[in-house]
């Protein structure tokens, strides 16, 4: 157990989450010698938490393959193991993303019909929040994987936003049918032909993400990761411009003091900690990767998210939707039948 | 001639550019009946400008292929034609990007050794400005095209930033060698092996663009376009948050009034008009696409940029660098010789 803020922040986060969800019980995986004294500071948490000693730690610099080989006695492995054994419903970690994904895939397995899991993030928009996936689990993706992501992202949006029919868009470089790369165009074709119970809205462009044009934005892991990091870089750039412009004059400095509440609000909205890092979709189990730099409040939000996911029908929905799509992709003639079956199964 | 602001803004822009570059002469392509009365407002420009009547117009909604077929009597075609005939050194337009690229490729041709032209933009960063290309001319790119873009972007950065050895990075999703998609990894290999006179810094990530980690960021047109539009969307989102946060309280409103100079500075830095739209690289001629919504000042900057490009050795440098790379790619044994030759030719 760790993250940049250390186990103290994680336990404080669990204590906050416990207040919000009084019925939840916690298995705390990590070094007992460290966790025990920390836990005594949180009396209420003490009653519904159990420490599971793990001597090992997965380091942030470790490669996924190394972690898989060497990390079997780590707190990360044990947390995933407890989900695999159904001791826990969800695992939340602020550790090494690649290692967490590798261990999750190895121990939990991928939902039947889904080729590869994806990492989804919650993206702040002008209209609230959207889901963007994949943001880095899969560098290159074919059309069928993009369709998987659309199904998983839609199920995730329903689970955590509580929307009946979230809108889904494929990230492209133009809204016209002729533009873009082949896998994206082909995925659009499959999603249209499938008649799945998904509100597919066609293509969206990079600026549509921040505008909140759709609830779910689907991209391959390369493009999604570039988009996410470019957005983070741009948000930093704008606040950097703002800070240096405000410092430059007396009125700027005075204005900044008066407007500091407003500026704090903006900073908070852009704070990656409030966005909970990445959520792994497509696994036979719920794994949430909290941001490495998350403080107690950030980690509590990650736990909230994991609980929302666990208490939804997300995984069965992904499974049944994917079953419908396979019919479509493999036998174009059977499109309407295949899709009809899947729709009936979920509605 | 047009753009969203109409010919009046274009002529006003030319008048500003003329004051900065008193020796430059202008060929104004467009409707003579419209341009003649407008031109009389700019006495100094009148003396060094010539109106070339063009009855046709390429509409913003026209497809490149349509424009190529129907637009032979348009002001856009004539402007490119005057560069092809060496009547003009550069063409600047604020019209339809796709049509401008198609006509430019058709009439000017691509620099020998370069497979396809790219569109470059100037990106504001924490350290000043960087070049990002391709931002949309080519959806999918192989390694060899990415190498072309590195060569073209580097030459462009030297021409307009006046840096001796601009740094070049390939946009990827991790700085490690093993991450990313194949064409990007392969392009890195070629750039390293080539020993070209290019300061190649390896991989950069999305957030490195705004941080100004390198002078030139190279991506395929799909990824580059998504990054550019995501950045635009994020800048809009942040200013939207800021505006609504400032409006919410009395102190916020008061602070905003006091800091309005600073806020204006930030808005100006992020204004796409000041970034001049896209620059076409890899053609046998200089074509600058000014932003469609550019005002007089924006259009004047686009003309400045075009003049800087025309008066540099950019195109011969692209040509000789590319010649060096072909040896490398086709005959790995000859790497050091091939690259040595190119280096000698330019230094």
Predicted confidence pLDDT, tens digits, chain A (347 residues): 766 668 888 999 999 999 989 889 999 999 999 999 999 999 989 889 999 999 988 988 888 899 999 999 899 999 999 999 999 999 999 888 889 999 999 999 999 889 999 999 999 999 999 999 999 888 889 999 999 999 999 999 998 898 999 999 999 997 665 578 899 999 999 999 987 888 999 999 999 999 999 999 999 999 999 999 999 899 888 888 888 888 777 877 787 787 777 778 777 777 655 566 789 999 999 999 987 777 888 888 889 888 888 877 777 778 777 776 654 444 333 333 322 222 222 22
Give the torsion through C-alpha atoms of A51, A56, A60, A66, to 10 deg. -140
Is the same domain home to A288 and A325?
no
Cross-chain Cβ contact A231/B206 below 8 Å: yes
Residue of B nearest to A140 (CA): B181
Is the same domain home to B205 and B172?
yes
Tell me the per-residue pLDDT of B93-133, one tens digit each, with 9 for 90 and over: 988 888 999 999 999 999 988 999 999 999 999 999 999 99
Whether residue B341 is contained in a domain is answered as yes
Given B173, B246, B251, which is nearest A222 (Cβ)? B173
SS3 B170: strand
Is the same domain home to A284 and A326?
no
CA distance A13 to B191: 47
Whether residue B70 is contained in a domain is answered as yes
Cross-chain Cβ contact A181/B139 below 8 Å: yes
Is the same domain home to A208 and A324?
yes
**What total number of domains does chain A contain?**
2
Residue position matching structure tokens 């419908």: A324
Tell me the per-residue pLDDT of B66-102, one tens digit each, with 9 for 90 and over: 999 999 989 999 999 999 999 999 999 988 888 999 9
Is the same domain home to A302 and A153?
no
Is the same domain home to A54 and A188?
no
Q: Is A89 exposed, middle or buried (0-12, 13-18, 19+ CB in 10 A)?
A: middle
Instruction: Give the Å distances, CA to CA, from A265 to A251, B17, B63, B128, B241.
Output: 21, 42, 44, 28, 8
Contact A275, A124 (CB under 8 A): yes
Side-chain-side CA neighbours of residue B131 (13 Å): 32
DSSP characters over A64-97: HHHHHHH-TTBHHHHHHHHHHTTS-SEEEE-S-H
CA distance B42 to A205: 40
Instruction: Using the predicted structure, report yes or no on whether residue B297 has a pLDDT greater than 90.
Output: no
Cross-chain Cβ contact A245/B263 below 8 Å: yes
Cross-chain Cβ contact A226/B226 below 8 Å: yes
Nearest to A207 by CA among B243, B98, B174, B136: B136
Say yes or no: A235 contacts chain B, CB-CB below 8 A. Answer: yes
pLDDT band at B280 (very low <50, low <70, confident <90, very high): very high
Residue A200, pLDDT score: 95
- Chain B residues whose beta carbon lies within 8 Å of the beta carbon of residue A227: 206, 226-227, 230
Residue A335, pLDDT score: 32
Is the same domain home to B232 and B251?
yes
B residues 300-329 lying closer than 8 A (beta carbon) to A: none
Choose, out of A62, A229, A257, the residue to mutate when testing the contact with B (most B CBs < 10 Å): A229
Choose, out of B119, B229, B257, B260, the residue to mutate when testing the contact with A (most A CBs < 10 Å): B229
Residue of B nearest to A241 (CA): B266
Cis check: omega of the bond before B205, within 30 degrees of 0: no
Cross-chain Cβ contact B238/A266 below 8 Å: yes
Nearest to B174 by CA among A278, A76, A222, A34: A222
CA distance B280 to B289: 7
Distance from B305 to chain A by nearest Cα, in Å? 24
Whether residue B231 is contained in a domain is answered as yes
Cross-chain Cβ contact B227/A241 below 8 Å: no
Cross-chain Cβ contact B258/A248 below 8 Å: no
CA distance A287 to A98: 13
Q: Is A335 exposed, middle or buried (0-12, 13-18, 19+ CB in 10 A)?
A: middle
Instruction: Give the Å distances, CA to CA, from A59 to A75, A273, A305.
Output: 11, 20, 25
Give the ranges where chain A is alpha helix by DSSP (H).
Answer: 6-20, 32-39, 43-47, 64-70, 75-84, 97-108, 143-161, 182-194, 206-211, 221-247, 250-258, 260-270, 296-310, 314-330, 335-346
Residue A166 Ramachandran class (φ > 0 left, ψ -120 to 50 alpha, else beta): beta
Given A230, A259, A261, which is nearest B207 (Cβ)? A230
Q: pTM of the predicted model, to two decimals?
A: 0.85
CA distance A212 to A129: 7
CA distance A183 to A178: 13
The 8-class DSSP code of residue A313 comes to S
Give the torsion through C-alpha atoms of B235, B238, B239, B240, to 10 deg. 120
Contact B261, A251 (CB under 8 A): yes
- The alpha carbon dihedral of B88, B148, B113, B162 has a sign of positive
Whether residue A230 is contained in a domain is answered as no
Residue of B nearest to A236 (CA): B210
Cross-chain Cβ contact A262/B270 below 8 Å: no
Is the same domain home to A94 and A160?
no
CA distance A150 to A132: 10
Residue position matching structure tokens 């074919």: A142
Residues in chain B, how many?
A: 347
The 8-class DSSP code of residue B55 comes to -
Choose, out of A224, A259, A266, A267, the residue to mutate when testing the contact with B (most B CBs < 10 Å): A259
In the sheet that holds A90-93, the strands lie side by side as: A90-93, A286-289, A278-281, A118-125, A128-133, A216-218, A167-171, A199-204
Specify the range with the lowest mean pLDDT, choosing from A7-16, A117-126, B270-279, B288-297: B270-279
Residue A209 belongs to domain with CATH number: 3.40.718.10
- The alpha carbon dihedral of A207, A210, A212, A216 has a sign of positive
Whether residue A215 is contained in a domain is answered as yes
B residues 260-289 lying closer than 8 A (beta carbon) to A: 260-263, 265-266, 269-270
- The alpha carbon dihedral of B175, B181, B182, B187 has a sign of negative
Given B210, B239, B265, which is nearest A237 (Cβ)? B210
What range does the domain containing A301 cover? Answer: 6-108+273-310
Structure tokens at A64: 């996924």
CA distance A195 to B158: 53
Residue B345, pLDDT score: 21
Given B124, B136, B227, which is nearest A230 (Cβ)? B227
Is the same domain home to A333 and A195?
yes
- Chain B residues whose beta carbon lies within 8 Å of the beta carbon of residue A208: 229, 233
CA distance B51 to A71: 74
Instruction: Using the predicted structure, report yes or no on whether residue B241 has a pLDDT greater than 80.
Output: yes
Q: Is B162 exposed, middle or buried (0-12, 13-18, 19+ CB in 10 A)?
A: exposed
Whether residue A262 is contained in a domain is answered as no
Given B126, B234, B254, which is nearest A235 (Cβ)? B234
Residue of B nearest to A256 (CA): B255
Cross-chain Cβ contact B238/A241 below 8 Å: no
Is the same domain home to A128 and A143?
yes
Read off φ and ψ for residue B267, nearest 5 degrees: -60, -40
- Chain A residues whose beta carbon lies within 8 Å of the beta carbon of residue B231: 206, 230-231, 233-234
- Chain A residues whose beta carbon lies within 8 Å of the beta carbon of residue B142: none
Percent of all residues in chain B with a pLDDT value above 70, rounded to a whole number: 89
Is the same domain home to A43 and A84?
yes
Rg (CA), chain B: 21
Whether residue A227 is contained in a domain is answered as no
Is the same domain home to B323 and B302?
no
Angle between helix B314-330 and B143-161 (nearest 10): 150
pLDDT band at B275 (very low <50, low <70, confident <90, very high): low
């Amino acid at each position: 157990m760790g993250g940049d803020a250390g186990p103290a922040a994680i336990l404080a986060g669990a204590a906050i989450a416990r207040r919000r969800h009084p019925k939840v019980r916690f298995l705390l995986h990590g070094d007992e010698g460290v966790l025990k004294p920390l836990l005594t500071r949180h009396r209420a948490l003490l009653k519904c938490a159990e420490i599971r000693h793990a001597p090992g730690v997965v380091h942030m610099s470790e490669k996924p393959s190394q972690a898989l080989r060497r990390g079997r006695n780590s707190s990360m492995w044990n947390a995933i193991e407890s989900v695999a054994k159904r001791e826990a419903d969800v695992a939340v970690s602020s550790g090494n993303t690649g290692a967490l994904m590798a261990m999750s895939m190895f121990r939990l397995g991928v939902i039947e019909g889904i080729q590869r899991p994806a990492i989804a993030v919650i993206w702040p928009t002008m209209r609230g929040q959207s889901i963007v996936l994949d943001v880095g689990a899969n560098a290159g993706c074919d059309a069928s994987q993009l369709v998987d992501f659309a199904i998983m992202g839609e199920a995730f949006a329903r689970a955590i936003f509580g929307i009946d029919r979230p809108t889904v868009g494929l990230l492209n470089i133009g809204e016209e049918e002729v533009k873009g790369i082949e896998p994206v165009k082909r995925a659009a074709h499959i999603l249209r032909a499938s008649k799945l119970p998904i509100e597919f809205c066609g293509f969206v462009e990079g600026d549509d993400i921040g505008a909140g044009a759709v609830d779910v934005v689907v991209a391959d892991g390369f493009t999604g990761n570039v988009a996410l990091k470019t957005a983070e870089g741009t948000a930093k750039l704008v606040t950097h411009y703002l800070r240096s412009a405000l410092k430059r004059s007396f009125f700027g400095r005075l204005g900044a003091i008066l407007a500091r509440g407003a500026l704090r609000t903006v900073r908070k909205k852009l704070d990656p900690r409030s966005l909970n890092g990445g959520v792994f979709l497509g696994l036979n189990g719920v794994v949430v990767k909290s941001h490495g730099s998350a403080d107690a409040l950030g980690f509590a939000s990650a736990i909230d998210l994991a609980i929302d996911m666990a208490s939804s029908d997300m995984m069965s929905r992904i499974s049944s939707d994917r079953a419908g799509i396979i019919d479509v992709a493999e036998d174009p003639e059977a499109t309407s039948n295949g899709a009809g079956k899947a729709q009936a199964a979920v509605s």
